[in-house]
Amino acid sequence: MANDIILGVNIDHVATLRQVRRADYPEVLMAAELAEQAGAGVITVHLREDRRHIQDSDVREIRESIGIPLNLEMAVTDEMLAIAADVRPQHCCLVPERREELTTEGGLDVTGNLARLRDAVGQLHNHGCQVSLFVDPDPEQLDAAADTGAKVVELHTGAYANASGEAMINELARLRDAAIHAEKLGLAVHAGHGLNVQNVGPVAKLPQIVEMNIGHWLVARAVFVGLEHAIKEMLGVMRDARK
């Protein structure tokens, strides 16, 4: 379907629930398999430096077991680049990371780290990974992202998701302009962060956006209706927006 949009299901918070008790359940691999069955196009995990949720073994097991691409979100560190070189996820999304943050708070400063990012993108491309850069909807960052050699950007939708009223309309306009700008630069456009069934529609409607990565809402909703149902609800809203 030319107009279709891919849902990348981020299962970090299945691991959060497991790690909070250092238990061996809920099984992250089972979540990945259920997500695949429910229509996810990609499984996304963020292997954080502090290993607060996803563990190295999760990344390896998912890579070996699922039939859809694994998207590894990672900070640009030598440790993570070595893991990516070893595990060879089909997709890598480079993100900024601060230990004390609750979640990824802003996009990458691509303009300020151009040489390092060029090198990281080059290394990952050599390992056969499709690389995306997680950036705020800012034309300068997008220009720099194209300069790194990356072929994909993921627009940070957090500011949009956290806003309301007029501010939300303005944030949506920033996302729309950024998506248009990125497409002109020849970049494929993904989006994610803070999205739920209430706010996803206007972003999913932007025709340049080909993939959305969504996690926290899906796992929270799954507590009440199950993961497969939550994913199907989200996919339904995304596809309706696209019609």
Name the residue with tokens 């943050």.
101
Q: Active-site residue among 13, 36, 46, 97?
A: 46
SS3 34: helix
Residues 107-166 binding ligand PXP (CB under 6 A) are 134, 154
DSSP calls for 159-175: HHHH--HHHHHHHHHHH
Among 58, 73, 136, 171, binds ligand PXP (CB under 6 A): 73
Question: Which run of H or E residues covers position 213?
Answer: strand 209-214
Is residue 206 within 8 A of residue 177, CB to CB? The reply is no
Among 37, 57, 103, 170, binds ligand PXP (CB under 6 A): 103
| Using rule CB under 6 A, residue 69 touches ligand PXP | no
Q: Is 142 exposed, middle or buried (0-12, 13-18, 19+ CB in 10 A)?
A: buried
Report whether the peptide linkage leading into residue 137 is cis, meaning its omega lies within 30 degrees of zero.
no
* Nearest distance from C-beta of residue 132 to ligand PXP, angstroms: 8
Q: Is 229 a catalytic residue?
A: no
| Using rule CB under 6 A, residue 104 touches ligand PXP | yes
Name the phi and psi angles at 223, rounded to 5: -60, -35
| Using rule CB under 6 A, residue 213 touches ligand PXP | yes
Residues 39-68 binding ligand PXP (CB under 6 A) are 46
Q: Is 190 a catalytic residue?
A: no
How many of the chain's residues bind ligand PXP (CB under 6 A)?
Answer: 19
* Nearest distance from C-beta of residue 110 to ligand PXP, angstroms: 14
Q: Give 104 or 141: the residue with its C-beta nearer to ligand PXP.
A: 104
- Helix axes 28-38 and 56-65, enclosed angle (nearest 10): 40
Residues that bind ligand PXP (CB under 6 A): 10, 12, 46, 73, 93, 95, 103-104, 134, 154, 192-195, 213-217
